[in-house]
Structure 1
Amino acid sequence: MSFPSLFILLYLGHLLADYPLQTDHQAAHKADQRAVGWAANLTHAATHMATCAAALALGALALDDVTLSLPVVVAALLWIGVTHAFIDRRWPVARWMKFARQQKWAQHGGAAHVDQTAHIFALVLAALALAA
């Protein structure tokens, strides 16, 4: 199984879920502490799982170097959903940026970059598991 192909497929799923498929409501409320925030967060995370599942299925059908194990796919998709939901609560990124002494960068748009880096790190780990 090809790590590069798997990663690209997962990254495509991530980009689709984070940008064209994320609603304004989800983006505005996914970190809220109330029920509406949790619903927005979990719906957004489920969208990530669905788009990554679709991308992996397409890759398995279209690419010779992508073969998948259903239990590993399920574990990888759960990992993607859980980590995405956790990162998008926003406090983990804020806490990291405080720890790393990046408060000024956070005030000038840096949190979005740290957020995306954390998501991509989670995708790399999922792709490695799928490729193993």
Structure 2
Amino acid sequence: MFADLAFLLYLGHLLADYPLQTDHQAAHKALPGRVGWLAAIDHAATHVVCGVLLVLGAAVLGWRLPVLPALAALLWIGATHAFIDRRWPVLAWMRLAHQESWAAHGGAAHVDQTAHIAALVVAALCLSA
């Protein structure tokens, strides 16, 4: 069940991060203050597609996902996504890991996606436990 959950959550993440993310969200989610947080939260809300895929998976594959843990997993995905997408956490990590040169040459996008996938794996592990 873990692999199915992880795959569906990853697919939901890709859908929310690319075809469902608006230009406004992408341009403003890392801005300081209220404007940035609102854009980040708005973008994180598009990850409701992960919930749609969980419902679909439950219907097609016969899962019996408890509602409260599933809602907690979706909240976790949205909250971690909004936090990671503020960009400063990724850049702070890359400074700590002595990756400033890689960050300056496009590496931050890879670290960003890795952090998102790590959060999805945590959600999938908790739901499959």
State the TM-score, normalizing by the size of structure 2: 0.97
For residues 7-60 of structure 1, the C-alpha deviation after alignment (integer angstroms, 9 at most, x for no partner) is: 011011100000000001100100111322221110101111x11100101111
For residues 58-114 of structure 1, the C-alpha deviation after alignment (integer angstroms, 9 at most, x for no partner) is: 1111113x3211010011011101100110010000000000000000011000000
What does residue 36 of structure 1 align with?
Answer: 35
Residue 81 (structure 1) aligned with residue 78 (structure 2): yes
What does residue 106 of structure 1 align with?
Answer: 103
Residue 62 (structure 1) aligned with residue 66 (structure 2): no
Match of 2:113 among 110, 113, 116: 116
Residue 19 (structure 1) aligned with residue 21 (structure 2): no
Q: Quote the Cα distance in structure 2 between the aligned partners of 1:6 and 1:40.
A: 27
Point out where structure 1 has 5 or more consecutive residues left out of the alignment.
none
